[in-house]
Amino acid sequence: MNLHLIPIETQTQIEQLARLAKSIWEQHFTPIIGDEQVDYMLTHFQSAEAIRQQIRDGALYFVAHTEQGQQSYMAVIPSVEKGKAMLSKLYVEHSARGTGIGKALLTHAEKVTRDLRLNALWLTVNRFNDDTIAWYKRQGFSVVDEQKKDIGNGFFMDDLIMEKTV
């Protein structure tokens, strides 16, 4: 597999990323949290406008390009004050799972974290997303906490917090 990780910087890239996010989220998260919450989260956290603002606020977005096109993306949010970076997003299309794309994105997130002289990478994952939790554990992450966060409109993110020293 020929894989290229491309930083997201332009408006065109942001719009393409938002379309990819919509495809992945509708496919993967609808069975876990339902159509209504997926639509809400796409609008507020994965839309072109939301991604653009996250980048302005310091998030580093990357999309993975392969021979099959764009199939995955991630975002890392550095926190120098905490000495950690948040793996805010790491999403892979169903058809591309098991190909090593997710591992390549994670390896890049770890490199970005080390390059910024931060010592840990952390993330949140829906507590009912069993396959993803198991994958992160295989990558060296441990559950360090849990949270139930009100995200508005009567929706909650019911997550585990996982962390890995890098």
Per-residue confidence (pLDDT) for residue 67, from 0 to 100: 83
Please say whether the beta carbons of 64 and 100 come within 8 A: no
Domains of the chain, residue spans: 4-121
Q: Tokens 């910024």 belong to which residue?
A: 116
Q: 4-121 has which CATH code?
A: 3.40.630.30
Please give the Cα distance from 166 to 113 (Å, whole number): 7
Grouping H, G, I as helix, E, B as strand and the rest as coil, residue 135 is helix
How many Å apart are CA 128 and CA 130, to the nearest integer? 5
How far apart are the C-alpha atoms of 4 and 48, rounded to whole Å? 22
Condensed to tens digits (0 to 9), the pLDDT of residues 117-134 reads 999 999 999 999 999 999
Residue 69 in this model has a pLDDT that exceeds 90: no
Candidates 121, 132, 33, 13; CA nearest to 73 is 13
pLDDT greater than 90 at residue 47: yes
Helix boundaries (H) for 42-129 = 48-56, 101-115
Q: Biggest alpha carbon distance in the chain? A: 43
Cα gap 57→153, rounded to integer Å? 24
pLDDT, tens only, 74-117: 999 999 999 999 999 999 988 888 889 999 999 999 999 999 99
What secondary structure letter does DSSP report for 95? G
Q: Which two tokens stand for residue 90?
A: 């790491």
Evaluate whether 89 touches 75 at the Cβ level (below 8 Å).
Answer: yes
DSSP 17-40: HHHHHHHHHHHHTHHHH-HHHHHH
